[in-house]
Structure formats: structure tokens, C-alpha cells
Structure 1
Amino acid sequence: MSVQSDSQKNLMEKIITLPPEKVAEVEDFVDFLRLRMEDRRLTRAAMKLSEEAFQMVWDNPDDAVYDKL
């Protein structure tokens, strides 16, 4: 079992004092944050995978002037 940090313990204590409907809101918000984090991870992975495919499009003499911006 992992050791909880003080901030995690404090957060849990605060959540425990909330009424059930507010706990449900906290849970929804945590789910939202986790989903957003996963979406960003997937977006970064897709961008990384597409770099090679777009390399010839990005690196061309006509657009070289924009590399200096």
C-alpha cells in the first residue's frame, strides 16, 4: 500500500466532510480531469506519430522563411 502525502490526506478529509451530492460533484470533476489528461496524452502521441509523415511538407524551401519566426 502506498503512503499518502499530507496534501492527499487533507483532501480526503475535506471530501469526507462534504454532503453526498457534493462528493458526487467532486467525483465528476476528478473524472473530467483524468479524461482531459488522457486526451492530451493521446493528442501528443498522435502528433509525435504524424511528424514523420509531415516532415516533407514542413521542410521545404518555400516555407523556410517561416522557420525564422
Structure 2
Amino acid sequence: MAFDPHEMDDDDPGSKDGAGPQRKYTEFDCPECNANNPVDDPIADGAELRCNYCGEEFRAHLTDEGRLKLRLL
């Protein structure tokens, strides 16, 4: 049996469990101060977020690949 390194990639957003690119983010790192900010509910596309440490506000964008991008408001 041949070794396939791709079968061991558990962080792949298109993994075998059928989750596809719809990853649920329950925390974010502030792009301004690098503080980790946990949130109660998963972050939705278009959600407005505020850093609990520096107070900067961001709009969340979930890409087609399932990555979280934050834009300063």
C-alpha cells in the first residue's frame, strides 16, 4: 500500500466529512494588535466584530475556500 500524504491532512477544509469550505470560526486574531478574541456564536459572513483589547471594529468575510478575512471599518 502506497503512502499518500494528502490523506493525513486533517486541516483540509474539503475533508472527507463533507463539511466542505464551510468552516465555523469561534475566535479571531485581531489584525491590529494580534490579540485572540473568542466569540460566543460562530462568525457569519458580513458580521461586524470588535476587538476586546484595542477596540478596533472589523467586518468578517468568509471566502469560497472557507477562510476568514477581516476588513477594518
TM-score band by shorter chain is under 0.3
Relative to the length of structure 1, the TM-score reads: 0.25
Whichever structure has more helix as a proportion of its residues is 1
Whichever structure has more strand as a proportion of its residues is 2
Relative to the length of structure 2, the TM-score reads: 0.25
Which structure is larger by alpha-carbon Rg, 1 or 2? 1
**Larger RCO, structure (CA 8 Å, separation 6 or more):** 2
